[in-house]
Amino acid sequence: MCIAGWVWKSNPHYPLILVLNRDEFHNRESDAVGWWEWGGQKILGGRDLKAGGTWLGCTENGRLGFLTNFREFGGIPCAKSRGDLPLKFLQSGKSPLEFAEELVCNEADMYSGFNLILSDLRSESMVYVSNRPKGGIVEVVESGIHVLSNAHLNTDWPKAVRLRGKLSGDVVKKYSMDNNKFAAKQMVEEMMMDEVKADIDTVPKNTGHELDWELKLSSIFMETETKTKGRYGTRSQVALSVNKDGEVSLYERYLKANFWQEHTINYRIPN
């Protein structure tokens, strides 16, 4: 499961600051964030090598999409891969709202439960879409602090509340450096490596999973062993910043061959 938190259009110098942890089984192969092509579109994102999709992707012209699963027991038979959803948006020429509305009307029921954030950074527009409950939800994301885990946007699950608290206050001032750079690595270390578990009485109920499993999932950073599928936990951590000049910086800390590695990718969105 994953968690993302972001500050959106609340600072004149940085329209977007995003942090995200991706949790997955260790035996599910994936590539770290990098540039690759999908359907003729150049994508910056991680890549799920099993299904071919992504959990987080951007384009050079300022489109951004990221995804979490909606926690539920099981899924639908022969479901389409949810990792294709950010890619379809990035390839599309539609606005976030147009894409979201068409998705809900035409094919959202073909996927297991998902939460999807779509943004056009040049027009400073952002939309949240989910296919749970049946019929879907489409909401414009207003300015402010937002957190998305494996329930609806801004649901107060314990780790979402913890991350929201970490994002409160003047994040830009705290993590800005003298050379006009953003202290992304420090941000990941201080926000996204939090292993504090929730109290058992506060973990999500009625998700289709046992409380013991919910407890293991209740920290921002997590690592556990499963009975049948091996290790499961946080495998990628991202801090992404976009400043008022369209300069994008994406820092990733990722697990590869049981060792943590890191890199930073920078680019600029054209006016």
Query: Residue 181: pLDDT band by 50, 70, 90 thresholds?
Result: confident
pLDDT (0 to 100) of residue 179:
67
> For 98-146, how does the pLDDT look when each residue is reduced to its tens digit (9 = 90+)?
999 999 999 999 999 999 999 999 999 999 999 999 999 999 999 999 9
Question: Residue 206: its pLDDT value, please?
Answer: 86
Q: What is the pLDDT of residues 26-66, one digit of tens each?
A: 999 999 999 999 999 999 999 999 999 999 999 999 999 99
pTM of the predicted structure, to 2 decimals: 0.97
Beta bridge partners of 64: 58, 119
- Residue 178 sits in a domain whose CATH number is 3.60.60.10
pLDDT (tens digit per residue) in 182-220? 899 999 999 999 999 999 999 999 888 899 999 999 999
Comparison of pLDDT for 254 and 169, the residue scoring more = 254
Q: How many residues does the chain have?
A: 271
Q: Using the structure block, give the residue that is written with the tokens 């495998």.
A: 235
- Paired tokens of 106: 């035409």
Q: Phi, psi (5° rounding) for residue 173?
A: -65, -40
Block residue for tokens 């951007």 = 58
User: Over the stretch 140-164, which tens digit does the pLDDT of each residue have?
Assistant: 999 999 999 999 999 999 999 999 9
* Cβ-Cβ contacts under 8 Å for 40 (sequence gap 6 or more): 91
* 3-class SS of residue 172: helix
Asked if residue 1 has pLDDT above 90, the reply is no
Q: Name residue 68's beta-bridge partners.
A: 115
Q: What is the CA radius of gyration of the chain?
A: 17
Q: How many domains does the chain have?
A: 1
In terms of residue numbers, what domain contains 124? 2-268
